[in-house]
Every structure is written in C-alpha cells, then in structure tokens.
Structure 1
Amino acid sequence: MDVKRLDDDTMLQILGCLDTDEDIARAGAVCRSWHRLVVDGRLWRRLCMIRFPELEVFREVAEQSSGVDCTTVELSKSRSVEEDILRREHKVFCDFYYSLTRTSSTRSSYIWNALHASSTDNPNEDVIQTLYPHPKRLSSGSPSYWSSTGQKLETVPEFLTYRMVTPLCVVEEIKLRPFEAFFQYGSPIYSPKFVRFYFGYQACRAPGGHSWSNPHPDGNYVWKYVSPMYPVEQADSLQTFRLPRPVVCIGGIFQVELVGRVQKQSTDQLYYICICHVSAQGSSLQRYDFEIKDPKSFVLKSLSKPIEEEKEEEEVEEFFRDEEDEEFFRRLRPELIVWGRPVFEDDDLGEY
C-alpha cells in the first residue's frame, strides 16, 4: 500500500500508535510531511502524558529567556498562529521528555529544605533534623531526629512536609530511617507502621511566579500524585520505598504521611514516632517551571538556562532554624543542593 495515498487523518491515527521516543524521532525525520504530522499530532506531548500521567494538566507551553516571558513571540509571515503554537509545543515537549527520562543516578537527595511537621515534641527535635545524613551529628552531642508529640492512640497519623530543589522534579524512590532511642532502656525504635507519600504544590502559589516563602503549617496543598501505602520495618536502618513508576513532583512540595504507632515511651506511656532521616531520590528539572492558569490548566515554561545559583545562595540563610543548623550546613556547603546538585550522597548514609 502506498502511504502517500493516505489522508492526513489516517496517517495521524497510525503515527499516534507510536509509543517510544525512538519511533517518534525516526518518524519525524522521514520527510517534511511526516515531520508536520508529528508536530500536528502533538506526539511528544502525548508521549509525556503516557509516561507521566500527572503532566496532563500542562495544556500550554511558554519559553523564557533571561527571566523575560516569551510566551508571545513574533510570528513568521508564512505560518499561522496555530502552526507556530504547535511547533513551539513540539520543541518544548520533545526537550522536556528527554529531561524527564534521562539516565540518572538515584543516589542524590533532591529535598531542598524541611518546611514543617504536624507536631513536634520539643524544639530540638524539629523536622529539619531529618535532613542530616547521620543521627549523631549535632555539636552538642545530642542525636539529630524529629519526634512527634505523644499520643494515647496508636492510630493518630503524622505528616512531614518538605520542599524540593526545583518546582518540577522527578522522584523515583524515598529513603526513610526510623530513630532508635539508644539513650532509653532497651533502645526502643519509634517507627511508624506504614508510610505514604504525596507530591504537589501550594494552593496559594501565585500565577506566573514562585512561592518560595515557607508555607504556614496549615497551608492548603494540592496533591497531583499520592503513592500506595508501604509497610515500615521497626528497625534502625535506612529503608527504601520505590515508587511504582517515576513521578513528576509538580510544585516542589513533598509530604510524608506516617501512619500507625508502634512504640510507647516508658516514662509517660504515650505513643511516639521518631524519624532521623528522609531523602527523595531522582532528578531535578532545572530548566523548567510552571504557571497555574486554573486548576486544570497549567503552562509549562522552558527556561533558556537554570535559575542562577547565586540567587539561591542568598535565599538559603532563611531556611536555617538556629546557629547550630547553620554551622552544620556551612561545613557541608559544597554538597548543598543548589538547583540540582545533591545535598548528601547515599554513601554518607551508611552504618555509623
């Protein structure tokens, strides 16, 4: 059969069956007419949605250069507005797909900072302590861990909320380490029974801009992906929870739900949950941002270059909770995440 005799609608249906990046790239390189069909069929956008269903909200694209929004561009006289939009979308989603699926080590933690916890037993057991790679790093000699308040019921959940390094991140697995209270009789381990993970954005994020100020603990979040529930071992070990598939965290907010309590404290007979480390492995999408037009329609923004590191260096000070935390992170400044560089490598998370 001569494919040249097929009309465009039929060819689009055929090309729409392509489900790998190699096939789409080859089809678009066959000839000008096939390239036009790949563009008109929005095949790269479709492939992104197949691999990452949460990206369905991206209905438009924009390109930025040096902080200037280039959503509206000067059109060529030979192209219609619709053709220009499709070509721009084709380019952005093609690049975006390769950024999403590029080979990356999952050894790096892409949590930028700790925002808040649903409860905290005392100020020295704040959620920021979960960013330390080891549970005995404080200069005071006390162990670094987060502790919930005590509860009479073992069913009361807890939530730990973090911000990722960039507004868009790919997360493949989460690592969590329950805390062993070696200073208490019997060295009890205050682990939860189960854990679940949420990825989304702050509901008050202003359209067209960042929302990098620390949200209020009662802040409203919109979750674009919620993981299955995973059982947690009552063990002093770094436990890995691999997601069913890589997930794009749209909005850079990551929350850990800790479900069920196991261990009572002997002094007050209340149930506690204590965690000494949390990390999220995957990759950051440094050259992309997004804008919310409405809850079902987002704009994917392609940046000409990553947001400048020096701007993030100026902002990092606001995240330190006290001088001890600041001193710790200053010592590790070369390993600190700044838009895609790892805070800690998992080699740092071995047995101590």
Structure 2
Amino acid sequence: MENGSDLLEWLGPDASIIVFIYLEHPADLVRATAVSRSWRQFVIANGLSKSLCTKLCPEVSYFSGIKEITPPGTVQLDESNSTTEWRNHERDHKIYTYINSFLVSTEGATSCISYCIGASSTDHFPEESIENTLKPTEEADWGSSYWSSVGEVDPAVPESLMYMLNYDLAFVDEIMIRPLQEIFEIRDYIYSSKFVRFKLGHSKLPITPAVFNLQQSHQIADENYVWTYISPQYPMEEKNVLQSFKLPRPVLCIGAVVKVELLGRVLKHDFDDLFYICICDVQVRGRTLLPLLAADFSETVHGHGGGVLLKYNPMGYVESDQNWRPN
C-alpha cells in the first residue's frame, strides 16, 4: 500500500475478516501469516486456522476443549491474563494448522486396524469369524479364510463388521474390501454386498479385544456408539479384488472405531436358497496425529460427561495413557 501502510489497517478489522474467510486452502492461510507480523497476529488472534479447520473437517467440532500436556517438573509462570490469552491463541493456531496439514495430503497412510470388535452375524463360528478378514491372504493353512454372514431369505437384511484402530485419533483416507469368490464347476460365486457404508466414532461403553462368540451383535449396536462421521453409500462390484472406497475427504476418526455396513445381498446360494455376504479382506488406511495430538475420553466414558478433549503435547511428550481408549 502507499506509504507502506498495512492492508489490514486500511480495510479495518471487520472487512479484513470477510476477506480472510475467503481463503479456502490451508496453504493460503499459512502464506498469509508469512506476509508480515501484523498479518500473522491477525490470523492468530481471530482463530482463523480453527475456523478453516472446522469448515474443512467438521469432526473437530466434537472437541469440547484442549488439554495441554506439560512434562514433569515444568514450572508454571505467573503470567498476566493478556499474556495467557495470547499464548492460548498461539497454541490453538499451531494445533489447527497441524490438523489442516493432514487435509491437503494423504502421504504416509498405512493399514491401521488393531483388532476386531464384532460382526452382526457369523454363519459357522469360529471357522468363518470376522478375525479372518484381517489375514493378509485369502488362503490360510486350513483353507479359505473369510467371514461369512448367516443366510437370509430377504436380500435387504444388512450386515456389519466393526474394528478398532491402532490410534484413538487418526485421519482415515480409504477403506479397502475384498469379497469372497468360490469357484465351482457349474458357476462361480461372488459373495459381495450391493453397497457399503462406513461409520467412524467412539464407544460409549468399555471396549476390549473381543472374546469371540456367537453373541456379537450387541457389541456393535449403534446405540452404544457416538458416530462423528457417516459416509455416503458406495456401490460394491461383484469382483474378487481388493476394492478401494476412498472417502470424499480425509476424515478425522475420533475414538478409533470403524463400522463397515454391508447393505443389500447379491448372491443366493443354490444349496439352501438363502442370501449370503462373505468378506475375506478389510483394510482401513489412515494416518495418526501422534505424538502431537491425541483424544481424551475421561469425561465421556460410559456415556457421561461433557465431551471429548483434544490432548495437545507440544514437546512430543508421551503420557503413559496417550493411547487411552474407553476400557
């Protein structure tokens, strides 16, 4: 500007806010903070990184607050209210800028399922249990390795598979599923579903690695979970390949629970005239926010409390309960 005057001063705070909210890419906001000290202070003081993050990743609105972790022996400084307020603004800016960085790249995504929680039904237990979907190949030592639903007369009866991820806070980019194929002389059978849908969230009840039995449906009932994201339905192909279902954007899974809903049955088996769904491989690909960020459910366990806290670890300090899940 003429005479070196600042654009923010020329526009005024209200008009400047309107201009800045049109920045829709996290990189643009980062560049804005590098223009000048006044621009950086304006972005931080007005919480623009958090506003953009909430817009691009609505799941962050589930956090009721931030719990900052400090290493043992840290001396708490006697600060003025204004100094403390500014420090909190800077902390929030760092946190949400970090989260925003996961929204612009999917590099580093890995398979991140820790264990199975349960299945809505199982035909032959334990030979056809959900645990078989985590084996890397279709063939195990004892034969085909897969999960099978029970047979149903009605092809509209859905099925569900539920998994716990390795991290209580992770961005999920895609989920991969391979339906079972059985080859016979007369015909080949592909036990796919018509559609698939995904739910991400956390449990209201204690969860531990499942002791598998035939009564798993209560473990995965929706009323026992808080779903912070529900995907659209995706069509599943009748092919024995690892099919990729990429989410519309990277989704923040708060609580490590992923539910795979298999909607609509395709195959009616000749020997009993019942419809089945059989899956031999499930992968959830995502990225952890550790060691900087984690989730704290201590105020929400068993369905009580006000909300989930976002745990912030500025020095990469790892608490013993950093990977805490409701248990």
Identity %: 36
2 CA distance for matches of 1:297 and 1:177? 36
Residue 223 of structure 1 is matched in structure 2 by 227
The equivalent of 2:80 in structure 1 is 77
The CA distance in 1 between the partners of 2:78 and 2:193, in whole Å, is: 57
Amino acid at match of 2:136: P
Question: CA 1:115–1:184 in structure 2 vs 1: closer, same or farther (change >3 Å)?
Answer: farther
- 2:273 maps to 1:269: yes
Gaps of 5+ in 2: 211-215
CA distance in 1, matches of 2:185, 2:69: 55
Within 1, Cα distance between the matches of 2:250 and 2:24? 17
Q: Find the aligned partners of 1:43 and 1:149 in 2 and give their Cα distance.
A: 51
Q: Find the counterpart in structure 2 of residue 139 from structure 1.
A: 141
Partner of 1:245: 249
Change (3 A) 1:56 1:184: farther
TM-superposition CA deviations, 1:291-321 (whole Å, max 9, x none): 3557885321123438599x98xxxxxxxxx
Q: 1:283 aligns with which of 272, 287, 290?
A: 287
Q: Which moved more, 1:31-40 or 1:3-12?
A: 3-12
Call closer, same or farther: CA 1:30–1:224 in 2, change over 3 Å.
same
2:310 to 282, 300, 304: 300
Aligned pairs (5 A) from 1:125-274: 125-136=128-139, 138-140=140-142, 142-182=143-183, 186-204=187-205, 214=210, 217-218=219-220, 220-274=224-278
Q: Distance in 2 between matches of 1:201 and 1:276?
A: 25
2:113 paired with 1:111: yes
How far is 1:76 from its partner? 2.5
Give yes or no for contact 2:171–2:288 (8 Å, CA) kept in 1: yes
What is the CA RMSD across the aligned residues, in angstroms? 3.1
SS of structure 1 residue aligned to 2:127: helix
d(CA) in 2 for partners of 1:80 and 1:212? 43
- Aligned partners of 1:75 and 1:81 also within 8 Å: no
> Aligned residue for 2:213?
none
| Range with greater deviation from structure 2 (295-304 or 266-275) | 295-304
Change (3 A) 1:113 1:178: same
Which of 39, 47, 56 is the matching residue for 2:44? Answer: 39
Whether contact under 8 Å (2:102, 2:250) holds in the other structure is no
Quote the residue 1:120 is aligned against: 122
> What is the distance in 2 between the residues matched to 1:168 and 1:183?
44
**Per the alignment, do residues 236 and 102 of structure 1 end up closer, same or farther by CA in structure 2, a change over 3 Å counting?**
closer
Shift of 1:278: 0.8
Question: 1:203 Cα shift?
Answer: 2.0
What is the aligned partner in structure 2 of residue 316 from structure 1? Answer: none
Normalization by structure 1: what TM-score? Answer: 0.75
Q: Could you list the per-position Cα deviations for residues 34-91 of structure 1 after superposition, in whole angstroms to 9, with x for gaps in the alignment?
A: 222111111111121222122222342222246x7x9x96453373443332222122
Distance 2:25 2:265 in 1: 44
2:101 aligned with 1:91 = no
What count of residue pairs does the alignment treat as equivalent?
301
1:159-209: CA deviations, max 9, x gaps?
A: 00011121112122211111012368633111111111111111236xxxx
Aligned match of 2:59 in 44, 48, 54? 54
CA distance in 1 between partners of 2:242 and 2:183 (Å): 16
Gap change, CA 1:116 and 1:64, over 3 Å in 2: same
**Residues 264-287 of structure 1 deviation map (CA, whole Å, 9 limit, x = unaligned):** 223222211100001122322222
Instruction: Give the whole-Å Cα distance in 1 for the aligned partners of 2:108 and 2:129.
Output: 29
Question: Shift of the alpha carbon at 1:145?
Answer: 0.2
More displaced stretch, 73-82 vs 285-294: 73-82
**Contact 2:26 2:52 survives alignment (8 Å):** yes
Secondary structure of the 2:190 match is coil
8 Å Cα contact 1:75/1:84 also seen in 2? no
- In the TM superposition, residue 120 of structure 1 has moved relative to its aligned partner by 0.7
Residue 213 of structure 1: how far off its partner (Å): 5.6
Q: Deviations over 1:10-37 (max 9, x none)?
A: 4333333323333322332333332221
Cα 1:301–1:46 change in 2 (3 A) is same
Shift in CA distance, 38/255, structure 1 to aligned 2, threshold 3 Å? same
Q: 1:83 to 1:173 in 2, by over 3 A?
A: same
- Normalised by the length of structure 2, the TM-score is 0.80
**For 1:121-166, what per-residue CA distance to the aligned partner results, in whole angstroms no more than 9, with x for missing partners?**
1211110110112110x222x1110001111111110000011121
3-state secondary structure, aligned to 1:242: strand
What is the deviation of 1:230?
Answer: 1.3
SS at match of 1:124: coil
For structure 1, the 5+ residue unaligned runs are: 206-210, 313-352
Taking structure 1 as reference, are residues 237 and 262 closer, same or farther at Cα in structure 2, changes over 3 Å only?
same
